[in-house]
């Protein structure tokens, strides 16, 4: 499922957990688990405030 979540985030930069929950028809805890895996892999990151923030693909450009 993490691959599906990744693809949705790629197409919808800034999407939040509630929107992902509704797209996949899964529980918030399931979505959070998948997002944690992607965050731990340094593929996605959360930007913004808790209420209005969302998930974005992590910039992979070397410094």
Return the CATH number at 22: 1.10.10.10
Residue 62 lies in a domain: no
| pLDDT the model gives residue 49 | 95
Q: Total domain count for the chain?
A: 1
pLDDT tens digits, 15-34:
999 999 999 999 999 999 99
Residue 63 lies in a domain: no
Give the mean pLDDT of 27-55.
Answer: 96
Residue 25 lies in a domain: yes
Residue 51 lies in a domain: yes
Residues 6+ apart with CB under 8 A from 34: 1, 2, 5
The domain containing residue 52 runs over which residues? 2-57
The secondary structure element, H or E, covering residue 45 is strand 44-47
């Amino acid at each position: 499922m993490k691959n599906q979540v990744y693809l949705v985030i790629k197409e919808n930069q800034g999407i939040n957990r509630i929107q992902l929950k509704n797209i996949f028809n899964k529980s918030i805890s399931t979505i959070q688990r998948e997002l944690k895996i992607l965050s731990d892999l340094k593929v996605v990151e959360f930007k913004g405030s808790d209420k209005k923030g969302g998930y974005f693909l992590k910039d992979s450009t070397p410094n």
